[in-house]
Amino acid sequence: MNQNANNRSQRAARQLLESWQRSGITHLKRVVPDPKLVTQDEPEPETPSERTILPVSRDVQTVAKPEILTQQTVVPTKEDSTEPDDSQKEMGVPRTTKSNLVKADRQAELDIIADQVAQCKKCPELASTRTQTVFGVGNPKAKIMFVGEAPGADEDKQGEPFVGRAGKLLDKIIEACQMKRSEIYIANILRCRPPGNRNPSDEEAANCRGFLDAQIEIVDPDYIVCWGSVAAKNLLHSDLPIGKMRGQFYDYGRARVLCTYHPSYLLRNPSAKKNVWEDMIYLFQDMGIELKSS
Ligand code: URA
């Protein structure tokens, strides 16, 4: 690895750690996995039984990173990052090797972050108007993580992401992909509801970023789906419209990131559902799974 790439990667790691600290994450114990527990961890459902497995041919998916990312982001790619082994690794730095933590340990780490989120008052307006924080939900060892925008009224009431109308549509998409909601990990750019469901401000997204990065770091998904332009723009620091970001993978640490339309947009524009279905086919094909239209 050349010196420039090394410096870039170290800078990315430092910035991410600082964003964690700005978000109020002051400590996180790195759990050393108990070898006994490793063998007790339940096997991950690789694929539901009816799925057809395609030969995995990742080379078809090698997509050049768009200029906007190469110019503006500090997202380390698999090739140019230095990855300390797990014992030296700082939490919050995007992973470039697979986490070896068992499910229970990941859940324990997520619980610590969730407690810190519940006490967060970095965004005074959001902290004073929320019913509760909405941290995230799902399999702490999920292969796929969904990232949405921010809680709405239903999520604010129930404390869980994507439980309103958009969430019901998301559930249908998950079902069409022959998956269960519980197999996926679901979070948002923000953990508090913006009043009137307005878009998150840049400052709010930055305040909450450390929490999101912590969730990504702990769950360590192979794939992240950004639902809508707010998720895509904030995770990848891109200003491209979502229509231009679709149809290719981006790197975020170890994860491959796919961007698609938000379910709320689909409720208003049902004709875009076919585009989202194409995106799901593209995602699952990369995982070696052929999705069948029912
Ligand atoms: N929309 C989102 O982006 N996230 C939610 O949790 C609910 C609706």
Q: Is the CB of 162 under 6 A from ligand 1?
A: yes
Question: Which atom in ligand 1 lies closest to the alpha carbon of residue 262?
Answer: 3
**What is the model's pLDDT at position 266?**
98
Any idea which of 7-16, 99-108, 136-145, 221-230 has the lowest mean pLDDT?
7-16
Quick count: other Cβ atoms within 10 Å of Cβ 274? Answer: 9
Beta bridge partners of 289: 53
The preferred substitution site among 149, 173, 185, 259 for testing ligand 1, maximizing ligand atoms within 8 Å of CB, is 149
CA distances from 62 to 216, 226, 251 (A): 23, 19, 11
Averaged over 123-151, what is the pLDDT? 98
Q: Is the CB of 170 under 6 A from ligand 1?
A: no
Averaged over 68-96, what is the pLDDT? 43
Burial letters 2-24, b for 16+ CB under 10 A, else e: eeeeeebbeebbeebbebbeebe
**What is the model's pLDDT at position 100?**
94
Q: How close is the Cα of 35 to the center of ligand 1, in Å?
A: 38
Q: Is the CB of 194 under 6 A from ligand 1?
A: no
In the predicted model, is pLDDT for residue 39 greater than 70? no
**What is the model's pLDDT at position 229?**
97
- Torsion over CA of 99, 49, 174 and 273, rounded to 10 degrees? 120
In the predicted model, is pLDDT for residue 10 greater than 70? no
Q: Is the CB of 91 under 6 A from ligand 1?
A: no
Q: Is the CB of 200 under 6 A from ligand 1?
A: no
The 10s digit of each residue's pLDDT in 48-76 is: 333 433 333 333 333 333 232 222 333 33
Question: Which atom in ligand 1 lies closest to the alpha carbon of residue 230?
Answer: 3
In the predicted model, is pLDDT for residue 190 greater than 50? yes
DSSP secondary structure letter of residue 253 = T
* Neighbour-count burial of 61, counting CB atoms closer than 10 A to its CB (0-12 exposed, 13-18 middle, 19+ buried): middle
Quick count: other Cβ atoms within 10 Å of Cβ 28? Answer: 17
- Torsion over CA of 237, 242, 245 and 251, rounded to 10 degrees? 40
Q: Is the CB of 136 under 6 A from ligand 1?
A: no
Give nearest CA residue, ligand 1 atom 7. Answer: 162
Averaged over 177-206, what is the pLDDT? 98
The bridge status of strand 144-148 relative to strand 223-227 is parallel
User: Max Cα separation, the chain?
Assistant: 52
Averaged over 216-238, what is the pLDDT? 97
d(CA 132, CA 193) in angstroms, rounded, equals 9
Q: How close is the Cα of 279 to the center of ligand 1, in Å?
A: 19
Full-model pTM: 0.77
**What is the model's pLDDT at position 43?**
53
Tell me the pLDDT band of 95, cut-offs 50, 70 and 90.
Answer: confident
In the predicted model, is pLDDT for residue 89 greater than 90? no
